Structure 1
Amino acid sequence: MPILRVTDLCKSFGPVTVLDRVTFEVERGQKIAILGPSGSGKTTMLRCINFLDRPTGGSIEIDGRRFGAKLAGGRERYESDRALAKERADIGFVFQRFNLFSHLSALNNVALAPRLVRKLPRAEAETLARQMLTRVGLAAKADSMPDALSGGQQQRVAIARVLAMQPKLILFDEPTSALDPELVGEVLNVMRSLAADGMTMLIVTHEVRFAADVADRILFMDHGRIAADGKPRDVLFDNPTDRMRQFLRTLSNDGPARPETTP
């Protein structure tokens, strides 16, 4: 059974259709990179999967169970905000701009959700938070406030905060797009480590070389639809669509480095 099943996912804002019957599945442990031009629906898709934006149509299933909606009186109804908050505990979300609480230290940012959502005692939550900060290379910054941290460090705290909830799946929404170029590598290194540990990850990114190196699959989105879905070598190198070639030419870097040929 796939850990995530997205079926005919639609999202409209007024007359504008942003997602048009998006369908795909994610197996446990898969790393999927989501590429595409601005406005293609990538971020909206992640937000709908987590019900930060409520879909216009379609369904989301996590481990075979419907997420965000249920049948009531023979009709399908969206869950309440309180019920959704509990369901979201299994799905981590790493935002572009960190979203740390500015009045809390790095330690307390990470410990907060385990205390409030998982109902861990304070001491246990803080021990877990220190472990997660160590996991992302920030053990020495536990008592630092967000404004004393670099952008890369803040994003790593945000990743530690997600890890502390022990999610089944992590959604990354362009996690390096708000960083200065010299800070991008430290965040990507943490993500590489999570991938190596078998974390299930959906990653919206423009870091094509990273996607080619780390992802098991690439979804290429265009105009609210999945225009290509396959292994990185196939989608990027061996059989790219004309639209993919056009997209790669628009990137500021030189595009992904072709991997070595393997037997």
Structure 2
Amino acid sequence: SKNGVHTFENVVGHLAQREDQVHSLGSIGGYEWFVKLGLGVYDETSFRSSLICENGNPKVKIGIRYYLKIKNSNEILQEKYKREDFMNLESDEVAISEYIPLLEVLNLKNGWLIDEKCTVEYGIQILIHNCPHYSGSTTESHDKLIPDDVELSDLEQCFQIANRVRIDLSTYRLLGLPEVAQSLLLTNASHFIEEQLIWKQYKNEKFILHAIEHDLSRFLAVLLKSATPEYVLEIIRGHIDILSMEIKKMIVAKVLYGRY
């Protein structure tokens, strides 16, 4: 990840010439990155900043979390046009800030330009990628690095948990995260989520079904500690089609040997 601040000079002159200004951020995740300032790509009545990855390979996709903020002494305006988001970048795609009407920028009373200078604060965090620098190969199977239905808050919590950050979450919040972690291929996050679930005490059949659906074999073992062999066999009959091999082995150990 990388964050920082850069001040662009002679901004008005570049805008008059319809020229973008570009500042190199160096290498991040094996690729060169740049922060750019200028007119809107499709609307020259707007002003924006953007982050660009120098990636000419159409097969390479990089999932990032980013923020862009054009500095202003007026904090209300500054926060209004700040952008924090995550997206999948491929080929020549760019991450763009909120657009600011150009006339507002050129009005010096609004505080966007100080002595024709404009300062941009930026941040990039590489979340997931299929870059050959890391994965060893780039294939067509990585169409979606961050699924469209994953919420930013879920994404952040899964990455925090994957890095062993202790988060105080409710039981039902924890129960909802394994599916997100699995969709992001964060197996270590699933492991640590399961650990937190194990520390709690449950006696609810819904939790048993949830553990089966998400292949949480260790959590299921704790839930079944006081279950009779007959009840365990009933579970097998009712859910045989979705039981993973790990859960099947655990259940067989309980029924046949009385242990896990």
- Shared fold per TM-score greater than 0.5: no
TM-score by length of 2: 0.27
Q: Highest CA radius of gyration, 1 or 2?
A: 2
TM-score by length of 1: 0.27
Query: Which of 1 and 2 has higher RCO (CA within 8 Å, sep 6+)?
Result: 1
